[in-house]
Amino acid sequence: MVNSLLNKVQVFLRWKYAHFWRVNMGMNSPASIDDIKILYKSENFVAVDKHYDVKINSDDPKDTITVATQLAHLHPELVDSSLPHSFRFIHRLDYSTSGALCLALNKKAAANAGKMFKDRRVTKRYLALVRGHVTEDTMMIEKAIYPNPEEDLSHMMKVDDGECPTGTRLLSALTRLEVLQRGEYDSEPATKLLLQLHTGRRHQLRIHCQSIGHPIVGDYTYSMRKDVSPYRMMLLAHTLHIPIPGEDIDVTAEDVFTQDNDPKWIPYQEDR
């Protein structure tokens, strides 16, 4: 019990250090209540461009900046007071991930969108900067994953390496990877990728990239709390297509992994 408590304190202190470093020594700009962009809006749905390092919603009153509070501030007329967090989130993005996120504005819309996700008809593509140079221009990563059983690491996922505990429920996971550019990030080799989810597992892209030896730049969790110098985790939900009959939702969040936006990223000219 004492060791568990010490581990939790250590994790908290490392997170505080990482947060201090990114905010005070890098380009990290904590989100404000206004830092949310509308990508699509109808009577049934609203799609937004989520800021990095923002929760979707929270039960903690100290979390004053979430997607739910931002959207309620921007469009109070869309709030459903009967819901615990004001809105119907039909899918999620990690705290550290930015980009396209869709919410339903009524029960029927949520059910229609939910069916598209269940039937795997939704197309989600992400942009990422990863460590090192990925040698293959395209590849399919098909590796089952499962929750990490280790104490204090249960928030993480692991790739099936043939040594998972007996009785572990493995989750099939498939990711398509395409190299867009190779270059350097902060003078270290890096690759810009287009990633497409064929399954929607927790932390799938992060653990799949790590599993091929190319962790996402700035991924504090899957670098085992070591990669703290980048101002954010370089993962962006770039496009989202939900082909609902009668309302085709197709949105794109701006690519922020450019040299103009972040001069530490220097792509080589010969790549696309």
pLDDT (tens digit, 9 = 90+) per residue, 84-123? Answer: 999 999 999 999 999 999 999 999 999 999 999 999 999 9
pLDDT tens per residue across span 138-166: 999 999 999 988 766 767 899 988 778 87
Rg (CA), the chain: 19
Overall average pLDDT of the 127-144 stretch: 98
Examine residue 143 and state whether it is found in any structural domain, yes or no. yes
Above 80 in pLDDT, residue 18? no
215 domain residue, yes or no: yes
* CATH number of 144's domain: 3.30.2350.10
State residue 231's pLDDT score. 94
Q: How would you class 197 by CB atoms within 10 Å of its CB: exposed for 0-12, middle for 13-18, buried for 19 or more? A: buried
Decide if 212 is inside a domain: yes
Q: Is 260 part of any domain?
A: yes
Helix (H, G, I), strand (E, B) or coil at 97: coil
Residue 235: count other Cβ atoms within 10 Å of its Cβ: 28
pLDDT digits (tens, 9 = 90+) for 211-268: 999 999 999 999 888 898 999 999 999 999 999 999 999 999 999 999 999 999 999 9
Instruction: Count how many domains the chain has.
Output: 1
Q: How many CB atoms lie within 10 A of CB 159?
A: 17
E strands of 111-227, at which residues? Answer: 123-131, 138-142, 145-147, 157-159, 174-185, 188-197
In a domain, 158, yes or no: yes
**C-alpha to C-alpha distance for 231 and 214, rounded to whole angstroms:** 18
Any idea which residues carry the catalytic annotation? 94
**The pLDDT value given to residue 255:** 98
Asked whether residue 272 is assigned to any structural domain, the reply reads no
Cβ(127)–Cβ(232) below 8 Å: no
Beta strand 98-104 pairing with 235-244: parallel
Report residue 162 as tokens: 């043939």
- CB neighbour list of residue 257: distance below 8 Å, 6 or more residues apart: 127, 128, 129, 192, 234, 236, 265
Spatial separation of the C-alpha atoms in residues 177 and 160, rounded to whole Å? 19
Run of H or E residues at 39: strand 37-41
Q: Report the percent of the chain where pLDDT is more than 90.
A: 78
* pTM summary value: 0.88
Range of the domain at 219: 2-267
CB 87 within 8 Å of CB 78: yes
Q: Which pLDDT tens digit goes with each residue over 6-15? A: 555 554 555 5
Residue 102 belongs to some domain of the structure:
yes
Cα–Cα dist 103/44, whole Å: 9
- Identify whether 214 is part of a domain: yes
Interval 30-49: pLDDT, tens? 999 999 999 999 999 999 99
